[in-house]
Amino acid sequence: MDLEKKLDLTDFLDQLRDFFARPKPLSMEGDVHIHYEFLMQLCSYTFKEPPKVQVLDDALMRLKKQGVLTLSEIFEFVKIVRYFTYLKSLEFEGSLGAWLQSIEIPEQIDEITNYFDEKGNIKSEIDERLVVLDNALSHTKTQIRQKLQALINAKKLQSYLVDRQIHFVGGEEALLVRGGFNHVLKATVIGRSSGGFFYVLPQEIKELKSKEADLLSQMEEIHYEIKKSISALFNKHLKFLQFINRAFDRFDHYQARVRFAKAKNLHIILPKSDNKIILKSFAHPAIEHPKPVDLVFDKKVLIVTGVNAGGKTMLLKSILASAYMAKYLIPMQCDPKSHIGRFKEIVPIIEDPQNVKNDISTFAGRMLEFSRLFSKNHLLVGVDEIELGTDSDEAATLFKVIIEELMKKDIKIAITTHHKRLASLMAAHEDVELVAAMYDEEKGVPTYEFLQGIIGKSYAFETARRYGIPLGIVQRAKKEYGEDQEKLSELIERGSELERALKEKNQKLDLELSRVTRERMLLQEEREKFHEMLKNEKRKLEQIYQEAVSEAKKALRAKEEKELHRHLTKAAQIAKSAKLKEKEPEELKVGDSVKYRKTKGVILSIRGKEAMIEADGMKLRVPLSELKRSSAPQKKKSTSKVRVNKPKALSVKLDLHGLRVEEALEKTDKFLSDALLAGFDEVLIYHGVGSGKLARAVREFLKKHPRVVSYEDAPPQMGGFGATVVKL
């Protein structure tokens, strides 16, 4: 508690203690890493807070000696067991869930929890005698109320009643009456009022109260039997009760920290195994409107100098407080990325040790505190106003040597000082870090910010003026201070300004670097996604290519014409599926002259991403992305890696004039296969009229072709009966 007080943490930690189910130290026994793991898992769940429970160490001691517990003590154990039963029902995951599920509650103990209601009263149904006594007691109480009410309403008593209330005197129900009441009421006087009236207990009520007391006595005897029986059972399961009592305290530590952190929007920091302290946006809980602190304390010694009332002492307390709270996994206000080492002991040398009673001076007290450090290791020490109580020049030299000796040990020291000599003597040491509290020259106030790497000016004259010292006195003091000292201060100030400017410039550069790095990472991610997409497309196209080749080979091996057409058709379908992603179509409209591959035409209609064009007297439905304005230069079109042999200049017309039937059918079959591969919806076959033999053979072939949707005579202007329009 003394350490909490010195670090100004008392009020804050008292708030945390309010979240505990029962009083306990803040420290937790066991592995801090396991505790942290459980805390992080518990943070993701919603659960009921535990009931308030009494400390049961004395009860456990009496059980060990085979004593009999009171019903209230038994109920405290019942509350703990009930809460763990509830926690087990939540089925937590991870190591926390495994720990809770490993707790096995003995069946007999579990049965005892059913003996009590929510208020801790024994349920009468556990013993038939209690049921009878409970009913009798209830009836007797009713009789008492009825008798009292009847007496209040009795006519013979009206002139003696002071009021019509039932008074409680010494735990007894009584009536307030005037003198002479004994003429109409048989009663016992049990008290006198300030007005000289009498509190009386009517004889009838006295008899009923006696009966009530007898019933309560009988119930108490039964309760004692129950207490004795349960205590004997508890003694049998003493090891379990000792364990569940400790387990409750352990979970109480967890739930209090988690609920406290959520209520205050705080973070729990796991202490690291080293001794570095890197604070990010840390705020000391004692400050009402804190300015978050960023600090790197990775060397052995930190010396804080700078403006008076600029927050040096609070920075020192923040360093020690952060280490203390991290050590015990206490939630704090800081960035979760903060790095805080673990220390065996935290030693604040902050207060003035002067004590008249012990006849010790300020400086002597400080020396006594420092002398104790030489016998210890793995410490974090905070010293406020290190030269306090003696000549600053002598103290600077003395403390330089003391600090250098302590640096040889496993001790980390943070120091505040207004005197620049000690900071100057230690500045060149590689294990010493300098920090300056900053001052706003324009506003004339401290900024409560800190700059690392420089010695700060104290601004004693400015601070004195700010706190009411007359200007004339301050100017006179500055004059006597001396020009040389003033120049030294100006050099220090100038150094601070340069450092501050450099810091601002570095911050801007860091922001710009972060932006560039972020953009570079985004570009890299996009590049990787694009390469992955290309790989996937390549893989798909290779698969389609292999399937198309396979179907083509099957077609070559096919013996029957029908099977041949089926394989060719399937190969065409596979090849069509391998089309590359359509590019964005040009802005075209109905009536535009366009070129489709090597055929020119006019757009008749547009539906979605397709257009109906008229080319060479034929209507074709084609993708918009494959149309170009007829005046536009032809661009080489990308093709997929799947290659199916087809004519380089494919037409939508086939002329069969002068061919024999066999030759004509062979050309028709190849023409249709090529048209399917090209994606034509409609083609024209010229066969002439003649004897009609060739026309019949062609149409019979078309009738059997699996990919022909329909066919009909061509319009007169396109050949009439001598030509056939085929839709695919």
pLDDT per position as a tens digit, 240-266: 999 999 999 999 999 999 999 999 999
pLDDT, tens digit (0-9, with 9 covering 90-100), for 34-44: 999 999 999 99
The answer to whether the predicted template modeling score (pTM) of the entire model surpasses 0.75 is no
Residue 644: pLDDT above 80? Answer: no
pLDDT band (50, 70, 90) for residue 471? confident
**What pLDDT score does 630 carry?**
77
**What pLDDT score does 693 carry?**
86
Please name which of 556, 589, 593, 591 lies closest in space to residue 571, comparing C-alpha atoms.
556
Q: Are strands 445-452 and 432-440 parallel, antiparallel or unpaired?
A: antiparallel
CATH 3.30.1370.110 in the chain, residue ranges: 647-728
Specify the CATH class of 126-224 in words: mainly alpha
**What pLDDT score does 353 carry?**
64
CATH 2.30.30.30 in the chain, residue ranges: 581-637
Question: What mean pLDDT comes out for the span 64-72?
Answer: 94
pLDDT, tens digit (0-9, with 9 covering 90-100), for 373-425: 999 999 999 999 887 777 777 888 888 999 999 999 999 999 998 777 888 78
Q: Are 707 and 571 in contact (CB under 8 A)?
A: no
pLDDT, tens digit (0-9, with 9 covering 90-100), for 174-222: 899 998 888 889 999 999 998 889 999 999 888 898 898 999 999 999 9
The beta-strand segments (E) located in 184-248 are 187-192, 198-202
CATH 3.40.50.300 in the chain, residue ranges: 277-481
Residue 88: pLDDT above 90? Answer: yes
CA atoms within 13 A on the CB side of 63: 25
**What pLDDT score does 553 carry?**
67
Counting residues of the chain whose pLDDT is more than 90, the rounded percentage is: 42
**What pLDDT score does 530 carry?**
84
Question: What mean pLDDT comes out for the span 448-467?
Answer: 70
Question: What mean pLDDT comes out for the span 626-653?
Answer: 56
- Of 110-119, 401-410, 439-448, 668-677, give the lowest mean pLDDT range: 439-448
- Tell me the C-alpha to C-alpha distance, in Å, between residue 627 and each of 427, 607, 640, 641: 78, 14, 18, 22
- Of 410-414, 453-457, 625-629, give the lowest mean pLDDT range: 453-457
**Helix and strand numbers, DSSP H then E, in the chain:** 20, 22
Residue 445: pLDDT above 80? Answer: no
- Of 119-128, 402-411, 421-430, give the lowest mean pLDDT range: 421-430
The domain defined by 581-637 carries CATH number 3.90.1720.10: no
Q: Which helix (H) or strand (E) holds 382?
A: strand 379-383
Bridge partners, residue 360, by sequence:
355
**321-338: burial string, b at 16+ Cβ within 10 Å, e else:** bbbbbbbbbbbbbbeeeb
What is the identity of the amino acid at 715? P
Residue 459: pLDDT above 80? Answer: no
The domain defined by 277-481 carries CATH number 3.40.50.300: yes
pLDDT band (50, 70, 90) for residue 639? very low
**What pLDDT score does 638 carry?**
41
**What pLDDT score does 77 carry?**
97
How many of the other CB atoms lie within 10 Å of CB of 123? 13
Q: Where are the alpha helices (DSSP H) in 408-482?
A: 420-426, 460-466, 471-481
Fold of 647-728: Ribosomal Protein S8; Chain: A, domain 1 (3.30.1370)
